[in-house]
Structure 1
């Protein structure tokens, strides 16, 4: 009889780092997103990843490190098809790695951010 492996929820800073790092690893290898990550974004990656860790930590764990608006200029400059693909990558990463109330909250937050950015 097969046993089901239950996935952890997003509950720790390490979980947040796993989410962000895994999603960006996928994005850097994605046919549509890789060129954006390299050229269009022209991001200082350590600072950007720290902002993302802070954002998700605030959104899911209730910390207050994220400064409102840090990510908006970069993400609002993305073409809508890139933003939609990024949403798919982030959602699939949550589904592959996590399960539980914070994972559900993360997927809802991704959908909300995407609809706000695409509609902007």
Structure 2
């Protein structure tokens, strides 16, 4: 199969669907989605299409607070840098397998930024709460 340019809603859907197929079968982060967060995929996937369309296509499809659900999950099951690294590894792998070109590279960089920022936010919160405890 030839790799695509990642420049259409169909491409974004392919990215998201392929990525979350990997996530669901992953031994490290899969259980966080299925057991801890108990993700309803019929609701989650359309949100993720909108989130990544906003980033990739700049169409403002997403209207929400993407970090908030991670905070809630983190209260039930501490999210560590390992979780974010695995998420990023699977995401990057999905991009490489399906897409080529400049947009794909930018999306990989953006995912890296998101993983770094969110993991450091959570690490800060987790360490901060230990100090108070």
TM-score under structure 2 length normalisation: 0.79
Partner of 1:105: 106
The 8 Å contact of residues 6 and 99 in structure 1, kept in 2 or not, is answered as no
Give the aligned length: 115
Q: Is the 8 A contact 1:20 1:52 kept in 2?
A: yes
Residue 10 of structure 1: CA displacement?
0.3
RMSD: 1.6
- In structure 1, how many angstroms separate the alpha carbons of the residues matched to 2:42 and 2:2? 31
Unaligned runs of 5+ in 1: none
1:86 maps to what in 2? 87
More helix by share: 2
Q: Deviations over 1:66-114 (max 9, x none)?
A: 1141x21223436122222111100110011101111011101100100
Residues 43-75 of structure 1: per-residue CA shift (max 9 Å, x gap): 222221111100111111111111141x21223
Match of 2:3 among 1, 7, 22: 7
Larger Rg: 2
Alpha-carbon separation, structure 1, partners of 2:4 and 2:41: 27
TM-score (norm. length: structure 1): 0.87
Q: 1:74 aligns with which of 69, 75, 83?
A: 69
**Paired position in structure 2 for 1:118:** 119
Gaps of 5+ in 2: 122-133
- Which residue in 2 is equivalent to 1:33? 29
Contact 1:19 1:93 in 2 (8 A): yes
Corresponding position of 2:43: 47
